[in-house]
């Protein structure tokens, strides 16, 4: 292994699928029941969470999903006119929920209604949107839950488009962070939630209306004890079952975060009463921006480990590097000496040929005894194979392998037996040939016999 310290602290998922969380602790103790802060640029890295997977009523944050479906219902919602329906306007008659006061028959653009719903938390605007987009409130709620599934969320289920408490309705801080993140990719939504105010133009059915943003993290011209100068949205509110809740985003020095706080309550700090959800959100943003930064922490040329390679005449090792250049969120005071990179299931050796970029194994990145992430390690460059090296390595392997040696010994013995038997057979054949030749020679008439017989015959004639 070499150049382990060429990678600084990497805090990233992999994936993926679910966000990774590193157990950092904020400077101040949180007052609310549930919270999560997620970096939006580093594959949804969660810096801190508190009971973020515990199900709870979604409160007014539900309207973020309602806004998503409204915005995605048309290419340009500023050109979509919506006539306020009886079902939408009167759906909450007899309740004491927050409403703007739209009247049946009034015409607004879809953009007007989205701003009305988000900035003032108007439940009547949410229901009018639901009837317009879904055909009915129930059909719209079905669309909301279909969108939940498309986002891969398993701990969210909506029963209305407003977020009013309803038995069987639930979400989590983590799921709401994912929903908010998705919503912020929609330019219309991103603009709406940071509006200090919005004006719906006068028309034949209603006068001009100006609404002001009730998310108190958004800085305004007037004094606001919760205002956070880097806040860019999103939505806050409260219900009896959910407590005080806020979904907020902030951006500073090129860094972006989403923070969800749920189950907040009224609390007194230095003699002043505050809503804990807003206080906690602001604390988490300040802590994150003060303690973390984005930095390129590894490149495709940072050698992490080396693996022996067989059958190559060029080199004995293959260098392993990260699959891609990684830009990650790191603590501003990171200590390189605390970084450990451990390859996972690294092979004992590779066989040439090896191509540049071939996956070899994974590696765990560990900081302060905590596993931060898993990365892919790949071959740094091409390694070609050699036929001669293959043969010599193969033979060398045979001679060092006990099983191979036994097989070779048996083969040698077998070959020796075979040669010995072949030799004995040849010897037998040779002796048989000699005996046969001798026998044939013995049966041939001798020359003297012929001479004697000829002499006797000659004497008889004479």
Asked if residues 262 and 173 have their Cβ atoms less than 8 Å apart, the reply is yes
Lowest mean pLDDT among 18-22, 116-120, 122-126: 18-22
Lowest mean pLDDT among 1-10, 245-254, 427-436: 1-10
Distance CA 190, CA 322 (A): 35
Out of 3.40.50.300, 3.90.1170.40, 2.40.50.140, 3.40.710.10, select the CATH number for domain 34-293: 3.40.710.10
How many contiguous H segments (helices) and E segments (strands) does the chain have? 11, 19
Q: Note the pLDDT of residue 9.
A: 32
- Strand 339-344 with 359-367, pairing: antiparallel
**Quick check: 20 pLDDT over 60?**
no
Asked if residues 134 and 143 have their Cβ atoms less than 8 Å apart, the reply is yes
Q: Note the pLDDT of residue 14.
A: 30
Q: Note the pLDDT of residue 392.
A: 67
Q: Note the pLDDT of residue 294.
A: 76
pTM: 0.72
Any idea which fold 4-9+299-387 has? Peptidoglycan synthesis regulatory factor (PBP3), Domain 2 (2.60.410)
Burial-class residue 72 by CB neighbours within 10 Å (0-12, 13-18, 19+). middle
**What is residue 383's DSSP assignment?**
B
pLDDT tier for residue 36 given thresholds of 50, 70 and 90? very high
Lowest mean pLDDT among 4-18, 201-215, 390-404, 416-430: 4-18
Q: How far, rounded to the nearest angstrom, does the alpha carbon of residue 155 sit from its chain's CA centroid?
A: 19
**Quick check: 233 pLDDT over 90?**
yes
- Say which residue the tokens 């807003």 belong to: 278
Distance CA 247, CA 193 (A): 11
Q: What is the pLDDT of residues 354-385, one digit of tens each?
A: 999 999 999 887 766 667 678 899 999 999 88
**Quick check: 339 pLDDT over 80?**
no
Distance CA 451, CA 446 (A): 9
- Find the helix or strand (DSSP H, E) in which 180 lies: helix 173-183
Kindly list the domain boundaries of the chain, sorted by start residue. Answer: 4-9+299-387, 34-293, 401-461
Q: Note the pLDDT of residue 326.
A: 66
pLDDT tier for residue 240 given thresholds of 50, 70 and 90? very high
Asked if residues 285 and 230 have their Cβ atoms less than 8 Å apart, the reply is yes
**Quick check: 432 pLDDT over 90?**
no
Distance CA 105, CA 160 (A): 23
């Amino acid at each position: 292994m070499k150049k382990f310290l060429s990678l600084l602290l990497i805090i990233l998922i992999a994936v993926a699928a679910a966000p990774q969380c590193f157990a950092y602790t904020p400077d101040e103790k949180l007052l609310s029941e549930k919270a999560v802060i997620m970096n939006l640029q580093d594959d949804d890295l969660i810096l801190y969470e508190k009971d973020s997977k515990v199900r709870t009523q979604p409160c007014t944050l539900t309207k973020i999903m309602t806004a998503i479906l409204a915005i995605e219902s048309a290419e340009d919602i500023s050109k979509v006119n919506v006539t306020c329906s009886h079902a939408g306007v009167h759906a909450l008659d007899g309740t004491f929920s927050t409403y703007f006061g739209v009247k049946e028959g009034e015409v607004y653009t879809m953009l007007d209604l989205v701003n009305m719903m988000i900035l003032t938390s108007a439940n009547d605007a949410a229901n009018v949107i639901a009837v317009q987009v879904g055909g009915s409130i129930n059909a719209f709620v079905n669309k909301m839950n279909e969108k939940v599934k498309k986002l891969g969320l398993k701990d969210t289920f909506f029963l209305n488009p407003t977020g009013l408490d309803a038995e069987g309705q639930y979400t989590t801080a983590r799921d709401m962070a994912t929903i908010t993140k998705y919503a912020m990719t929609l330019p219309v939504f991103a603009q709406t939630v940071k509006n200090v105010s919005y004006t719906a133009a006068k028309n034949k059915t209603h006068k001009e209306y100006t609404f002001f943003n009730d998310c108190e993290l958004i800085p305004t011209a007037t004094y606001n004890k919760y205002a956070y100068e880097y806040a860019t949205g999103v939505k806050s509110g409260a219900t009896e079952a959910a407590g005080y809740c806020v979904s907020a985003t902030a951006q500073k020095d090129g860094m972006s975060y989403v923070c969800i706080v749920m189950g907040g309550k009224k609390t007194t700090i230095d003699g002043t009463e505050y809503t804990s959800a807003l206080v906690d959100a602001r604390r988490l943003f300040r802590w994150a921006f003060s303690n973390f930064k984005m930095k390129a922490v590894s490149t495709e040329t940072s050698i992490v480990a080396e693996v022996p390679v067989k059958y190559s005449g060029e080199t004995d090792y293959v260098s392993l590097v990260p699959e891609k250049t990684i830009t990650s969120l790191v603590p501003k005071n990171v200590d390189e000496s605390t970084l450990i990179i451990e390859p996972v299931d690294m092979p004992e050796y590779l066989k040439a040929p090896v191509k540049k970029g071939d996956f070899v194994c994974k590696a765990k990145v560990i900081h302060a005894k905590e596993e931060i992430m898993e990365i892919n390690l790949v071959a740094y460059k091409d390694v070609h194979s050699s036929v001669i090296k293959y043969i010599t390595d193969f033979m060398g392997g045979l001679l060092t392998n006990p099983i191979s040696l036994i097989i070779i010994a048996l083969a040698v013995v077998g070959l020796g037996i075979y040669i010995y038997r072949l030799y004995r057979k040849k010897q037998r054949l040779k002796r048989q040939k000699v005996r046969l030749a001798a026998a044939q020679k013995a049966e041939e008439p001798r020359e003297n016999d012929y001479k004697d017989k000829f002499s006797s015959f000659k004497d008889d004639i004479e």
